[in-house]
Amino acid sequence: MKNKHGVLVFVMALAVSFLTMTESARAITIDTFDTTFQLVSNSAPGPVTVTTAPGESIGGFRTMEITSVSGGLSSTLAVLPKPGNPDGVLTLSNDFGNLSSAVVKWDANGFGLGGVDLTALGADSIGIELVSMDLLGAVDLTVIITDTGGDIATKLLAGANIGQNVFEFNTFTNALNVDFSLVNAISLSLQTIVVAADLSIDFFETLEAPPPPTVPEPATIGLLGIGIAGLGSVYLRRKYRRSKKQQCK
């Protein structure tokens, strides 16, 4: 019986390894929005800006700006931390009838990030976790990367969806001319395209490229086949025994 259980465990372990070998992993955290409260609100067409120095932000500073509002009422961009709970969020909320445009910038309060390597640890993209949105597809997200030479790369994701939204470096506009290993500033633009939309964002981070699919070696395939055959044998034996017991009754 122990051998049968061992075969089952082995087969399950192989299945789990095959299913997880292509997942992306977090590499560099740009912001978690977990510890420092920050809020900017605007009801006029002109921009309103506020900068704070939260410990969870790359470069030590986070600048938030509502660049424009239409509709006459208030729109608010805020970081809402939850003390003792790593589930703080960046939120953008719009009053009834409002549309808004907002930007969050990480550039060490204008001094620059000094050449942060966004490709470190094998990263090939940026991930933004959109955790809630009351109107689906209500926001366009744009990531803007500026390198130490002043070159700028942008990536627009129109109608972003709840869940992880991925921005691959090689898909950015002007990607060939921007050095993602020497970054001086990172910006996230949020443009609501449906009135009165509310949304919240969690992690903003680089993502490690998943490893290429691994072709199982012949020995591994053979062991997997033996395991499956063993499970089939166990099933057939139990079925046969149940059948015999029923015939004896």
Question: CA-based angle 194:51:201, to the nearest 5?
Answer: 40
What integer pLDDT is reported at residue 7 of this predicted model? Answer: 44
User: How confident is the model over 45-104, as pLDDT tens digits?
Assistant: 889 999 999 888 999 999 999 988 988 899 999 999 865 656 789 999 999 999 999 999
- Checking if the pLDDT of 147 tops 50, the result is yes
For residue 98, the enclosing domain spans 25-208
On whether both 113 and 223 belong to a single domain, the answer is: no
Q: Give percent of the chain above pLDDT 90.
A: 56
On whether both 39 and 144 belong to a single domain, the answer is: yes
- Sign for the CA dihedral angle at 92, 89, 104, 183 comes to negative
On whether both 174 and 239 belong to a single domain, the answer is: no
**Residue 247 has what DSSP assignment?**
H
On whether both 40 and 102 belong to a single domain, the answer is: yes
On whether both 119 and 223 belong to a single domain, the answer is: no
User: How confident is the model over 155-193, as pLDDT tens digits?
Assistant: 999 999 899 999 999 999 999 999 999 999 999 999 999
- Checking if the pLDDT of 24 tops 80, the result is no
Question: 3-41 burial, b if ≥16 CB within 10 A, otherwise e?
Answer: eeeebeeebeebeeeeeeeeebeebbebbbbbebebebe
- Separation between Cα atoms, residue 50 and residue 8, nearest integer Å: 58
Worst-scoring range by mean pLDDT, 9-18, 186-195, 202-211? 9-18
Q: Any alpha helices (H) in 83-210, and if so which ranges?
A: none
User: What's 143's domain CATH number?
Assistant: 2.60.120.260
Work out how many domains the chain is built from and give that number. Answer: 2
What integer pLDDT is reported at residue 220 of this predicted model? Answer: 54
On whether both 185 and 239 belong to a single domain, the answer is: no
What integer pLDDT is reported at residue 9 of this predicted model? Answer: 42
- Checking if the pLDDT of 194 tops 70, the result is yes
On whether both 76 and 146 belong to a single domain, the answer is: yes
On whether both 134 and 224 belong to a single domain, the answer is: no
On whether both 79 and 189 belong to a single domain, the answer is: yes
On whether both 237 and 117 belong to a single domain, the answer is: no
Contacts of 162 (CB under 8 A, 6+ apart): 130, 131, 132, 133, 136
Structure-token match 């070696």, residue found: 217
- Indicate the pTM of the whole model: 0.74
- Checking if the pLDDT of 146 tops 50, the result is yes
On whether both 46 and 109 belong to a single domain, the answer is: yes
- Separation between Cα atoms, residue 204 and residue 57, nearest integer Å: 10
On whether both 143 and 234 belong to a single domain, the answer is: no
